[in-house]
């Protein structure tokens, strides 16, 4: 199994602060306890209030900042997973359109509502970001030149508190995976807040081997 490198994840989280923000768009949906969508949103990230920016950065950062190879695990996609009509194709589309395709988002929300298992209302938040990866010298110091722009989405699943306020993420994922400081479109990094009682359906039914 491919290991998640802690230093790679910390490198990403350093770009998830108000001053060094790497996100440009946020979209999401609110679901009732039966999985039906109560409402959706899709906005330019920097047009949020300062409070909402900080809140959403904190939620998103939970995924890469979690304990690697315990709460955050790499899962590869098989060739079958990457065929037309599967979730991988939706994720690639959401990344490539930078979350600007509402029809594709609604398709993903519908699928989540059918497969995600919970007895509570919950929220799904998806953030699109890009990171101009600086080249590192042999001494690991950055040279500030770039060979790749890492374009990615982070998705969190949070139980809803009062007034549609999201609690801490119960699970989530980072796509494409960030391996050896580079994008790996053939893998996804999945976060589980409780690794002993994970939302197994996120991997089994939503991300991998799932087709429409």
> Does pLDDT of 212 surpass 50?
no
Lowest mean pLDDT among 64-78, 132-146, 152-166: 132-146
Per-residue confidence (pLDDT) for residue 137, from 0 to 100:
55
Please, is 186 exposed, middle or buried when counting C-beta atoms within 10 Å of its C-beta (0-12, 13-18, 19+)? middle
Strands (E), 70-194: 72-76, 122-136, 142-160, 166-175, 177-179, 182-184, 187-192
Q: What is the pLDDT of residues 41-95, one digit of tens each?
A: 999 999 999 999 999 999 999 999 999 999 999 999 999 999 888 999 999 999 9
Tokens 């509570």 found at: 120
- Report the alpha-carbon angle 56-59-63, nearest 5: 135
Per-residue confidence (pLDDT) for residue 144, from 0 to 100:
57
Mean pLDDT of 19-26: 96
Mean pLDDT of 12-16: 95
Between the alpha carbon of residue 19 and those of residues 48, 50, 54, 84, 154, the distances in Å are: 14, 11, 10, 39, 19
Mean pLDDT of 143-152: 79
Q: How far apart are CA 199 and CA 204, in angstroms?
A: 9
Tokens 């996804």 found at: 188
Q: How far apart are CA 160 and CA 33, in angstroms?
A: 10
The candidate with the shortest Cα–Cα distance to 90, out of 111, 75, 74, is 111
Tokens 């009062």 found at: 162
Share of the chain above pLDDT 70, in %: 93
Mean model confidence pLDDT for the chain: 93
Q: How far apart are CA 62 and CA 173, in angstroms?
A: 10
Between the alpha carbon of residue 53 and those of residues 46, 82, 136, the distances in Å are: 7, 33, 30
CB 107 within 8 A of CB 119: no
* Residue of higher predicted confidence among 139 and 8: 8
Per-residue confidence (pLDDT) for residue 59, from 0 to 100:
97
pLDDT band at 146 (very low <50, low <70, confident <90, very high): low
> Does pLDDT of 210 surpass 70?
no
Residues 6 or more apart whose CB falls under 8 angstroms from that of 163 comprise none
């Amino acid at each position: 199994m491919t290991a998640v490198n802690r230093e790679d994840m910390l490198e990403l989280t350093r770009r998830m602060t108000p001053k060094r923000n790497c996100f440009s768009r946020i979209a999401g949906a609110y679901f009732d306890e039966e999985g039906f969508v109560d409402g959706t949103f899709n906005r330019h990230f920097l047009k949020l209030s300062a409070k909402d920016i900080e809140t959403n950065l904190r939620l998103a950062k939970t995924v890469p900042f979690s304990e690697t190879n315990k709460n955050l695990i790499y899962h590869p996609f098989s060739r079958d997973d990457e065929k037309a009509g599967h979730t991988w194709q939706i994720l690639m589309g959401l990344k490539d359109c930078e979350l600007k395709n509402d029809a594709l988002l609604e398709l993903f929300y519908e699928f989540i509502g059918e497969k995600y298992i919970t007895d509570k209302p919950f929220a799904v938040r998806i953030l699109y970001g890009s990171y101009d990866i600086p080249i590192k010298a042999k001494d690991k110091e950055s040279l500030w030149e770039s060979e790749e722009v890492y374009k990615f989405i982070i998705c969190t699943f949070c139980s809803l508190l009062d007034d549609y306020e999201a609690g801490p993420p119960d699970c989530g994922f980072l796509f494409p995976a960030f391996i050896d400081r580079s994008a790996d479109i053939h893998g996804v990094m999945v976060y589980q807040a409780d690794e002993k009682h994970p939302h197994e359906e996120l991997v089994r039914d939503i991300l991998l081997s799932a087709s429409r």
